[in-house]
């Protein structure tokens, strides 16, 4: 069974840092791309960024709102991707989802985790 | 950056009715990199349609997608109880892979 599970959310002060994890199972993690998407309470979905597979040199892309503050990485040996969030702002408060995409769905995100809540507040 | 606009914001319909949701892009989306997701309260998004018109695994055939270029449509042929939710379109042509603001389908 394909699964992606986020962890690492919590309460952090403005200006602080937090690292989220996305643990995958049930599929060939190394051949997939991993995306991070967030959703503030009562709001829509916001794509944050993506990391491609090793065959694409682990290329990353980010939304303008997080460029320079957030970094996506992955460890294929652990079937896990990460979202390092620095210089956090109150507006980064949201549920953070990771998802995988593969060639099977022409790189649309077909499996999503249940999300982890990040609250940025003093 | 490609901006996606969805209309209407809210669609109030009855069971068994046909729902037509629109997604318009600010520029042409190449290679059919357009997807539709369904999201219910407290749940993660669920992929319905990828590549404009391909149904994801396990998605009923009452859901269909169409369109090209900058104009795309998600159609639900006959609404069932479980279809009342928020629907988002997303492009994955070139980063950033933006989402539309969503269309809420609720019971009239």
> Is the dihedral angle over the CA atoms A30, A75, A52, A42 positive or is it negative?
positive
**What tokens does A43 get?**
């709001």
Q: Which pLDDT band holds residue B90 (cuts at 50, 70, 90)?
A: very high
Minimal Cβ distance to A44: which of B1, B54, B102: B102
pLDDT higher than 90, residue B69 = yes
Which of B29, B38, B92, B100 has the most A C-beta neighbours within 10 Å, making it the best mutation to test the interface with A?
B92
Q: Which pLDDT band holds residue A25 (cuts at 50, 70, 90)?
A: very high
Task: Give pLDDT, residue B26.
Answer: 97
Tell me how far apart the alpha carbons of residues B74 and A24 are, in angstroms, rounded to a whole number: 30
Query: In Å, how far is B102's CA from the nearest CA of chain A?
Result: 7
Task: Give pLDDT, residue A17.
Answer: 98
Minimal Cβ distance to B99: which of A44, A105, A110: A44
- Look at the block and give the residue holding tokens 């809420």: B104
Task: Give pLDDT, residue B19.
Answer: 98
Task: Give pLDDT, residue B104.
Answer: 98
Q: Which pLDDT band holds residue B42 (cuts at 50, 70, 90)?
A: very high
pLDDT higher than 90, residue A27 = yes
Q: Which pLDDT band holds residue B108 (cuts at 50, 70, 90)?
A: confident
pLDDT digits over B12-40, tens only? Answer: 999 999 999 999 999 999 878 999 999 99
pLDDT digits over A48-84, tens only? Answer: 999 999 999 999 999 999 999 999 999 999 999 999 9
Task: Give pLDDT, residue B46.
Answer: 98
**What tokens does A121 get?**
């507040």
Cβ contacts of A97 on chain B, cutoff 8 Å: 44-45
Task: Give pLDDT, residue B30.
Answer: 83
Cis previous bond, B96, omega within 30: yes
């Amino acid at each position: 069974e394909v699964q992606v599970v986020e962890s690492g959310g919590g309460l952090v002060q403005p200006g602080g840092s937090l690292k989220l994890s996305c643990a995958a199972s049930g599929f060939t993690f190394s051949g997939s791309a991993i995306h991070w998407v967030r959703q503030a309470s009562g709001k829509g979905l916001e794509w944050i960024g993506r990391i491609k597979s090793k065959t694409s040199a682990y290329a990353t892309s980010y939304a303008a709102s997080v460029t320079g503050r957030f970094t996506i990485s992955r460890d294929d040996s652990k079937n896990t991707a990460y979202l390092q969030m620095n210089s956090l702002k109150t507006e980064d408060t949201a549920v953070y989802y990771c998802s995988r995409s593969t060639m099977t769905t022409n790189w649309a995100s077909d499996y999503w985790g249940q999300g982890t809540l990040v609250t940025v507040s003093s | 950056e490609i901006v996606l606009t969805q209309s209407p914001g809210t669609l109030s319909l009855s069971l068994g009715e046909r729902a037509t949701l629109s997604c318009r892009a600010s520029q042409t989306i190449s290679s059919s990199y357009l997807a539709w997701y369904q999201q219910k309260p407290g749940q993660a998004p669920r992929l319905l349609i990828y590549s404009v018109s391909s149904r994801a695994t396990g998605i009923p055939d009452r859901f269909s997608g169409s369109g090209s270029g900058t104009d795309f449509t998600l159609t639900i042929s006959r609404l069932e109880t479980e279809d009342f939710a928020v629907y988002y379109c997303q492009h994955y042509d070139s980063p950033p892979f933006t989402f539309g603001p969503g269309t809420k389908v609720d019971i009239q």
